[in-house]
Amino acid sequence: MRIIAGEARGVRLTNVPLGVRPTADRIRESLFNRLGQFFDGGNVLDLYAGTGALGIEALSRGCERAVFVEKDRGAVEAIRENLRRTGLQERAEIIRDDVGRALERLSGRDGTYNLIFIDPPYRIAAPEAGNVQVRLHALLAPDGRAVIESSSRSPEIVGSKKGESRRYGDTVVTIFERSDLTMNVAVCPGSFDPITTGHLDIIRRAAGIFDHVVIAVGRNLRKGPRLTATERAQLIETVTSDIDNVSVELMDGLLVDFAREQGARVIVKGLRAVSDFESEFEQAQLNRTLSPQIETVFIMSAAEYSFLSSSAVREIAGLGGEVRGLVPDVILDVVREIYSGSGDQTEATRQRIG
């Protein structure tokens, strides 16, 4: 592998670490022919960077700065070595972390990227693909482009009807404009202590309406929950694992701030009965005052769940009652043990959640 054009033209890159699938030189050359031979400044973000060849090629061709995100230690060392060989290390930053966490950090910074390269593992999970798309829109400059390399068998990060795609054997390279990345994202907040079948019904129905639904699990609860926020989130991930356009995040602070960070313009709330409306109406008005561009959408509970709440599940389980049908079957045993058990039994069950 080598740098094809620009100030580092012809520089040979280090050996590819075991387990890393690099973008072949011929694909890289074809890609940059489509993007433009040279650039007049601009920032680059290289996700799942591998050897860093794509980001380094962009730096060599005139981009000003590049951020490389890669979690594999061997790949990070390869990126460092390739930057050293090309003399471009002063214009680069390497973040060794999971892409999801790195995108969350980058979203909190000022500034956007003119080019974003996404070359995920071909077996990337669909929820992770959805998370990446949610973040891309906020990070891409108004006139920027995102390049996604994928397999014909991998989950779509962006809908197949968007962008300009070309196939190279089993590899598909698609270039997206910022407008192609627009998603109708909704946030569904709650304490979920625990998640009930009523919650799951609302989540499934919201997922059928919006492109992506982010379940926001509140950390800062006034009453101490039986499970930590992380444990509650893990239970939600378990029961929503079959819903491709749903992801789970932990939330601190104001809901409207969280929604903006997620690129969401809609807050989804479930309403069980008229008694819920007064408090939810007040919260919706407050949220609209804090952030007028964010709307609240109410989904009425199905009749069979109109009586159901997390507090009712906790009370029934705590008194030794049967909670089958009140919580999803896949977490039934865990809920029984956590909310009615104590001591060693509860601690062992906690370890199973993780």
Catalytic residues: 199, 223, 272, 310
User: Quick check: helix, strand or coil at residue 299?
Assistant: strand
Q: What is the token pair recorded at 155? A: 């989950």
Identity of the amino acid at 61: R
- Phi and psi based region of residue 261 (left: phi greater than 0; alpha: psi -120 to 50; beta: remaining): alpha
3-state secondary structure of 142: strand
Across the beta sheet with 140-151, what order do the strands follow?
92-95, 65-69, 43-47, 113-118, 140-151, 171-177, 164-168
What is the side-by-side strand order in the sheet with 212-218?
A: 246-251, 212-218, 185-190, 266-271, 295-300
* Close Cβ partners of 161 (under 8 Å, ≥ 6 residues apart): none
